[in-house]
Structure 1
Amino acid sequence: MAASPSPARAAHHRRVLPRGRRVLDEHMPVHHKLSRVYRLGSALVGVILTFFGVLGLTDNIGFFDTGGDQVGGLSTNGALSVLSVVVGLLLFAGMVRGGNFASSLNITFGGLFLLSGFVNLALLETSFNMLAFELQNVLFSFVVGLLLLVFGMYGRVGSALPHDNPYWQQRHVDEVARARREHDRNEQRTRARLRGEELRRRASLFGSGEDGGAADDGDEGDGLDADGDGGQQGDR
């Protein structure tokens, strides 16, 4: 009956998927350096937006007041404050989950902030400026968007990613599978070589013991012969 593979080995092989079904592990280890970067980006921007939104809500500004009010040097109203708190909490959720989810969330919100900056730039000084944007809000939206994109794309986009990078492995499944097969073959050769050396060492130890025993038997035989000869001479 064939032995079932260990859970660790089974999990190792589950990561190698055929072409067309390349799925990146959603849950990177907590200590993974990429996951730490994504968490940091989500937490940093989430704190800023939540703080900005809470301060705006405490001022009791009108929900769609286009005149707005100043909070931290930025114009805001009730709608923008609520939106800021919601986005900040979503980024906190990305910080908690980490991994590929946090990266994708940062990229998504980064693109939305950039889009918001361009849209609200066009709506300045119009009656459609429902979020009470001013020029400083547009610049802030651009800065936050770029910051989220940098954090979200770190280690994910580039032409010189290291081969232990999970995103590089996702895009080069065939090479990863070939490297793992070669690694397994090398491990098998190493184990076989170590096993052969151990068997030769044991054989040499047992062989030395047998030679020593044979030598002792020969010495005892010579002693008996000598005694026998002495006895015969005494009889004579």
Structure 2
Amino acid sequence: MAHTPVNHPARPIYRAIGGLIGLYLVVFGLLGFFASSGGPFFGQGDTQALGQGTNLGFSLFSIVIGAIVLAGTAIGRNLDVLINQWSAYLIMVVSLAGLAFLRTEANIFNFSVSTVVVLMLLSLMLLMAGMYGKVGSDDEHEAWQKARLVL
């Protein structure tokens, strides 16, 4: 994509942001796992971790997504860009679905409003990290600069 920056000067910061988001998801998932262990997998109750509603299913979902983001950050080589973008889209869809089903029996992840807000913020930051973390050759950077000036 010509409009995606290549070799952005702040790309190490964006990569660190992606790693911190992955770490947050893993920590939240582990705390939620211990808080909701023994309960139903998709139980709806008052179980919370870090002030957000959760259950065993959502805790495991958070651990898996966070571990994938952390692995992508550790590997780098533009794999982190791809993982950050697709994880952000997935988290966005899950949070919007959670908002749509918040006060219904279809709230399988036991979301609360705070969970939806935090997930949406995390997904937007992860998407930003994915958009600005791309690394490329000098020729790709020059082509991006020329395309940017045309737009």
**Which band: TM-score by shorter chain?**
0.7 to 0.9
Alignment TM-score, normalising by the size of structure 2: 0.78
| 1:43 partnered with 2:34 | no
| CA distances 1:185-205 after superposition (whole Å, capped 9, x unpaired) | xxxxxxxxxxxxxxxxxxxxx
Q: For residues 87 and 155 of structure 1, what CA distance do their matches in structure 2 show?
A: 19
Contact 2:30 2:59 in 1 (8 A): yes
Q: For residues 143 and 133 of structure 2, what CA distance do their matches in structure 1 show?
A: 12
Alpha-carbon offset, residue 134 of structure 1: 1.0
Q: For residues 142 and 52 of structure 2, what CA distance do their matches in structure 1 show?
A: 40
Which of 82, 103, 120 is the aligned partner of 1:125?
103
Report the structure number with the largest CA radius of gyration: 1
- Give the paired residue count: 135
Contact 1:68 1:77 in 2 (8 A): no
Q: For residues 84 and 33 of structure 2, what CA distance do their matches in structure 1 show?
A: 25
| 1:135 partnered with 2:109 | no
State the superposition RMSD in angstroms: 2.6
Alignment TM-score, normalising by the size of structure 1: 0.51
Alpha-carbon offset, residue 39 of structure 1: 3.0
Identity of matched residues, %: 30
With over 3 angstroms needed to count, the CA separation of the structure-2 counterparts of 1:168 and 1:152, relative to structure 1, is farther
Contact 2:72 2:79 in 1 (8 A): yes
With over 3 angstroms needed to count, the CA separation of the structure-2 counterparts of 1:155 and 1:106, relative to structure 1, is closer
Which of 73, 78, 84 is the aligned partner of 1:100?
78
Query: Corresponding residue for 1:215?
Result: none
Q: For residues 78 and 93 of structure 1, what CA distance do their matches in structure 2 show?
A: 22
With over 3 angstroms needed to count, the CA separation of the structure-2 counterparts of 1:137 and 1:164, relative to structure 1, is same
| 1:77 partnered with 2:55 | yes
SS, match of residue 80 in structure 1: helix
Q: For residues 165 and 48 of structure 1, what CA distance do their matches in structure 2 show?
A: 36
Query: Corresponding residue for 1:52?
Result: 28
| Greater relative contact order structure (CA < 8 Å, 6+ sep) | 2
With over 3 angstroms needed to count, the CA separation of the structure-2 counterparts of 1:96 and 1:66, relative to structure 1, is same
Alpha-carbon offset, residue 66 of structure 1: 1.3
Q: For residues 51 and 83 of structure 2, what CA distance do their matches in structure 1 show?
A: 27
The runs of 5 or more residues in structure 1 that have no matched partner are 1-27, 157-162, 173-236
SS, match of residue 68 in structure 2: helix
Alignment of 1:206-225 (within 5 A): none
